[in-house]
Amino acid sequence: MPFKRSVYERSIYQEPAPIRDSDDPFQSMVERFDVAAEILELDPGFYEYLITPAHVHITAVPVEMDDGRVKMYEGIRVIHNEVLGPSKGGIRFAPDVSVDEVKALAAWMTWKCAVVGVPFGGAKGGVRCNPKAMSPKEVERLTRRYTANLIDVFGPDKDIPAPDMNTNAQIMAWVLDTYSMHSRRTENAVVTGKPVLLGGSVGRREATGRGVMTVTLSAMERLGMRADESTVAVQGFGNVGSVAAQLLSEQGCKIVAVSDVTGGYYNADGLDVQAMIEYTEANNGSLEGYSEAQVITNDELLALDVDVLIPAAKEDQITKKNAGNVKARIIAEGANGPTTPAADDILNEQGTLVIPDILANAGGVTVSYFEWVQDRQGYFWTLDRVNRRLDRAMREAFDNVFEASEQYDVSLRIGAYVLGIDKVATALQMRGIYG
């Protein structure tokens, strides 16, 4: 069928890209890296090595839509660093995915794995698309073609994807199947976060939110706060935010506000998180129309007078414009990059304890590692074992970061960067530069 001009009219170039109130996310990463590098007195050559992504893959992903027309999408996979092991990181499907964003997210995976002691390097992938405007079959074809294009990049010993924003276990099953069809055998260790029936791990879906809960409790303990006397606001009610809210409410915290893309929902007496999760399940994943709460804006949620604030939505939410309004004593970053460097300065100044993304949301990749180990052994753990090992890993990582921050008299974020970068730099020193 000859292509007509109209085929291209709805191409990626027409996808609306939301305007960010932000600094460039890769720049945000580099700014924190610079502070840590100075503390570590990092060799200038190593500095260059460690901020440079090892591989950047950009690939055109054609998809035949249900109406027979072909649309082109931009697929990206960035492998930031492979010094500690095969690279690891999620794949996101979103309209504002860009190479710079994926480069930042891949670098954060490198430091995250190092901080929590997972023997992987860092990577991230993305496709610039609006999956909410696509049918399940279109998403499947997009996923399979993206995977096929990157077939030489992925591999259980090379680069292992996982879910991220707008991707889930079903999408990982399609990655697994496409990869396996090409390699002529079932390779379940090529992705993590897949369905349990296909070699996924129990507890993986909840792992990021569970890790957020664990580090929040550790921080409360350090500050002499009690869970059953604390109030919490959660921005984002996806896989991370909803689980963190639920688990913290089980610990006795009062969850007074949550939000999703449709707005914020507030109840000073505490929200029924379980009921809200059930509401979203029956309502296409959205909280729109939930009536047991007062509707508030995103900005109002961030400025609530609560003890704990959990940004679990997306990058660049706490900026220099609104950081001064934050009243929470603890911020636990469920999302990657929710706070800009300029906001960090304001929060540090006002004494807010920020548990940084590369620590707070590391529970996901920790259980991804457990999943990969289980796949390779062909022996699957109980939920109790997964959760105990996850809790221990998160508590130890929190304590290590806390101690590093005290030792160097810096924020938890810089403490985490110092630990992560030091580990990767030391490994690089041991391996040496080939050639």
User: Which amino acids are annotated catalytic?
Assistant: 124
Q: How many CB atoms lie within 10 A of CB 353?
A: 20
Q: How far is the CB of 357 from ligand GLU (least distance, A)?
A: 8
Tokens, residue 203: 């507890």
The residue from 143, 246, 259, 336 that contacts ligand GLU (CB under 6 A) is 336
Distance CA 69, CA 71 (A): 7
The residue from 361, 374, 387, 411 that contacts ligand GLU (CB under 6 A) is 361
Instruction: For the chain, state the CA radius of gyration.
Output: 21
The residue from 90, 125, 209, 311 that contacts ligand GLU (CB under 6 A) is 90
Q: Whose CA is closest to 329, among 296, 353, 310?
A: 353
Local structure of residue 20 (DSSP, 8 states): P
**One-letter amino acid for residue 312 of the chain:** A
| 311 part of the interface to ligand GLU, by CB under 6 A | no
Q: Kindly give, in sequence order, each residue whose CB lies less than 8 Å from that of residue 170, ignoring residues fewer than 6 positions away.
A: 195
Q: Is 203 or 264 the residue whose CB approaches ligand GLU more closely?
A: 203
Find the part of the chain contacting ligand GLU (CB under 6 A) among 254-262, 337-345, 362-370, 420-428. Answer: 362-370
| 166 part of the interface to ligand GLU, by CB under 6 A | no
Q: Is 98 or 231 the residue whose CB approaches ligand GLU more closely?
A: 98
Find the part of the chain contacting ligand GLU (CB under 6 A) among 33-41, 283-291, 318-326, 361-369. Answer: 361-369
Q: How far is the CB of 84 from ligand GLU (least distance, A)?
A: 14
Q: How many CA atoms lie within 13 A of 158 on its CB side?
A: 12
Q: What is the contact mask toward ligand GLU in residues 259 to 298, using x (rule: CB under 6 A)?
A: ----------------------------------------
Q: Whose CA is closest to 258, among 250, 249, 266, 268?
A: 266
Distance CA 241, CA 394 (A): 17
Q: Kindly give, in sequence order, each residue whose CB lies less than 8 Å from that of residue 187, ignoring residues fewer than 6 positions away.
A: 155, 156, 176, 179, 180
Q: Kindly give, in sequence order, each residue whose CB lies less than 8 Å from that of residue 38, ignoring residues fewer than 6 positions away.
A: none
Q: How far is the CB of 266 from ligand GLU (least distance, A)?
A: 28
| 188 part of the interface to ligand GLU, by CB under 6 A | no
Q: How far is the CB of 160 from ligand GLU (least distance, A)?
A: 7
Q: Whose CA is closest to 256, among 307, 183, 324?
A: 307
In the block, residue with structure tokens 């929902």: 265
Q: Is 365 or 386 the residue whose CB approaches ligand GLU more closely?
A: 365
| 88 part of the interface to ligand GLU, by CB under 6 A | yes
Find the part of the chain contacting ligand GLU (CB under 6 A) among 57-65, 310-318, 325-333, 357-365. Answer: 357-365
DSSP string covering 221-244: HHTT--GGG-EEEEE--SHHHHHH
Distance CA 114, CA 205 (A): 21
Q: Is 199 or 364 the residue whose CB approaches ligand GLU more closely?
A: 364
The residue from 79, 116, 127, 162 that contacts ligand GLU (CB under 6 A) is 162
Distance CA 226, CA 91 (A): 37
Tokens, residue 242: 């909803």
Burial class (CB in 10 A: 0-12, 13-18, 19+), 251: middle
Q: How far is the CB of 365 from ligand GLU (least distance, A)?
A: 4
Tokens, residue 141: 């074809």
Q: Whose CA is closest to 252, among 223, 298, 220, 277?
A: 220
* 404, 408, 411, 416: CA torsion to nearest 10: -40
Find the part of the chain contacting ligand GLU (CB under 6 A) among 17-25, 231-239, 363-371, 386-394. Answer: 363-371
Find the part of the chain contacting ligand GLU (CB under 6 A) among 71-79, 82-90, 182-190, 298-306. Answer: 82-90
Q: Is 86 or 341 the residue whose CB approaches ligand GLU more closely?
A: 86
Q: Is 98 or 361 the residue whose CB approaches ligand GLU more closely?
A: 361
Number of residues that bind ligand GLU (CB under 6 A): 11
| 77 part of the interface to ligand GLU, by CB under 6 A | no
Tokens, residue 287: 């909280």
Q: Is 113 or 227 the residue whose CB approaches ligand GLU more closely?
A: 113
Tokens, residue 1: 């069928």
Q: Is 51 or 115 the residue whose CB approaches ligand GLU more closely?
A: 115
Q: How far is the CB of 27 from ligand GLU (least distance, A)?
A: 19
Q: Is 12 or 165 the residue whose CB approaches ligand GLU more closely?
A: 165
Q: What is the contact mask toward ligand GLU in residues 364 to 393, using x (rule: CB under 6 A)?
A: xx--x-------------------------
Q: How far is the CB of 409 from ligand GLU (least distance, A)?
A: 28
Binding region for ligand GLU (CB under 6 A):
88-90, 162, 164, 192, 336, 361, 364-365, 368
